Amino acid sequence: MAALAYVQTIGVRTVKMGDLVAALRITAKQERELLSRMARASLIASVRKGLYLFPEKLPLGGVWSPDEATAINALMADRQARYQITGPVAFNRYGYDEQIPSRVALYNDALDGERRIGRVNLTLIKVSPDRLGGTEEITTPTGETLAYSSRVRTLVDAVCDWSRFNSLPRVDDWIRRDIKASRVTPSDLVDMAIRYGNMGTVRHITDLFEQLAVGKRIIQRLRNELSPTMRWQDADPATRKRAVEEATRILRDCARTGDDITYGNLRERLKDLIDLRLSTHEDRKEYGDFLAAVSRPEHNRGHGILSMVVVNQKTRQPGPGFFLMAEAFKKFRRGDDEAAFLEAEISLVRQSNGFAVKPTV
């Protein structure tokens, strides 16, 4: 308990590897083993490798875990990161959802992924600094300060990040109730959506406000922000569904007639529904995500990978992303004969869509 007594004496909560060596007159190896042993016994909590949280005093029973505020602030302070709590914890805070979440979702500008500190489970969502804001701070009973997405910002987050938080269509009812109860105003939602949302957020709120017959000037502000079509990553579920259905129809027609279609031509034919780009690596990855969404249902039916009829204009072959998709679908492994796989797959796709080779005369 010498480590606990020392840390409490100097009045700190976080200890980095190396801080105890001189004070306790131990070696670096002994310090490492000591801290590891204390973390396993739940006397302290590991924030990250080499950084530990200590209790102000050890509770009865000798088992301790930091509260959410202490854990979050220690992690964010270590990375000098900005953050705000969003998602299910914010939904619960503002009375949208009665379920007590087991994880805390954090938008922040430093870390991504899952993290556990003591008994606190965190989902870290790294965003650009300009997507942080629209917050309110609360002070916990222990004196810690936490930054939450505000009520209006939480509604925008629920629309913008619906697939992560499983918040559509529930958020539409939340917005309706909050407007009716004057907890938020349509104007505030518009401001927040334009500043912190994406094109899908703006389009979804535009559609909702049109149903609610919100004032024309407010709806026009939203319309002024809209581009003719949306990127795949920004699209709402209805837009994604329409784009996938139309692409499926186009590609099945190609398979049935024995034709192919270039990435550029497919992009052009879908331009009124979805904005598919090819300029950058990220653009091509997003295009691949779209083609995977088109191909997966047909693959699951045993009809082959439909997007193989989408080809490079020069090579008349699917791009490298096709083989990554085939690997993900467990139809192809690195080292397999690519030519033989393509031949077998195109035969399956065409046959499944009614292609018949015309007999030679």
Residue 344 within any structural domain of the chain: yes
- What dihedral do alpha carbons 95, 100, 101, 102 form, nearest 10°? 160
Confidence tier at 227 by pLDDT (50, 70, 90): low
Q: Check whether 309 has a pLDDT greater than 50.
A: yes
DSSP character string of 42-69: TSSEEEETTEEE--SSPPTTS-----HH
Q: Are residues 177 and 275 in the same domain?
A: no
Q: Are residues 81 and 170 in the same domain?
A: yes
Q: Are residues 165 and 84 in the same domain?
A: yes
Q: Are residues 112 and 196 in the same domain?
A: yes
Q: Are residues 161 and 291 in the same domain?
A: no
Q: Are residues 205 and 272 in the same domain?
A: no
Q: Are residues 135 and 27 in the same domain?
A: no
Last residue of a domain, one of 64, 87, 114: 64
pLDDT value of position 357 = 57
Most confident range, picked from 57-66, 187-196, 200-209:
187-196
pLDDT value of position 268 = 83
pTM value is: 0.67
Domain carrying residue 59: 2-64
Q: Using alpha carbons only, how large is the chain's radius of gyration in Å?
A: 27
**Structure confidence by residue, pLDDT tens digits, 145-164:** 999 999 999 999 999 998 89
Q: Are residues 188 and 210 in the same domain?
A: yes
Q: How many Å from the N-terminal Cα to the C-terminal Cα in the chain?
A: 93
Residue 179 within any structural domain of the chain: yes
pLDDT value of position 282 = 83
Give the CB-side neighbour count of residue 141, counting CA atoms within 13 A. Answer: 1
Residue 361 per-residue DSSP state = -
Q: Are residues 148 and 77 in the same domain?
A: yes
Residue 358 within any structural domain of the chain: no
Q: What angle do CA 174, 236, 283 make, to 5 degrees?
A: 140
Residue 359 within any structural domain of the chain: no
pLDDT value of position 229 = 66
Confidence tier at 360 by pLDDT (50, 70, 90): very low
Q: Are residues 57 and 73 in the same domain?
A: no
- What dihedral do alpha carbons 255, 256, 260, 264 form, nearest 10°? -90
- What dihedral do alpha carbons 144, 149, 154, 160 form, nearest 10°? -130
Q: Are residues 90 and 201 in the same domain?
A: yes
Residue 284 within any structural domain of the chain: yes
Q: How many domains does the chain have?
A: 3
Q: Check whether 359 has a pLDDT greater than 80.
A: no
pLDDT value of position 361 = 42
Q: Chain-wide mean pLDDT for the chain?
A: 92
Question: What average pLDDT does this structure show over 267-296?
Answer: 88
**Structure confidence by residue, pLDDT tens digits, 7-58:** 988 999 999 999 999 999 999 999 999 999 999 999 999 999 999 999 988 7
Q: Which residues does 344 contact at the CB level (< 8 Å), separation at least 6?
A: none
Residue 263 within any structural domain of the chain: yes
**Structure confidence by residue, pLDDT tens digits, 76-125:** 999 999 999 999 999 999 999 999 999 999 999 999 999 999 999 999 99
Residues 292, 300: Cα–Cα separation, whole Å: 12
Q: Are residues 267 and 334 in the same domain?
A: yes
CATH number for the domain harbouring residue 22: 1.10.10
Q: Check whether 127 has a pLDDT greater than 50.
A: yes
Residue 9 within any structural domain of the chain: yes
Q: Check whether 223 has a pLDDT greater than 90.
A: no
In Å, how far are 120, 249, 322, 325, 334 from 328, measured between CA atoms?
A: 33, 23, 10, 5, 11
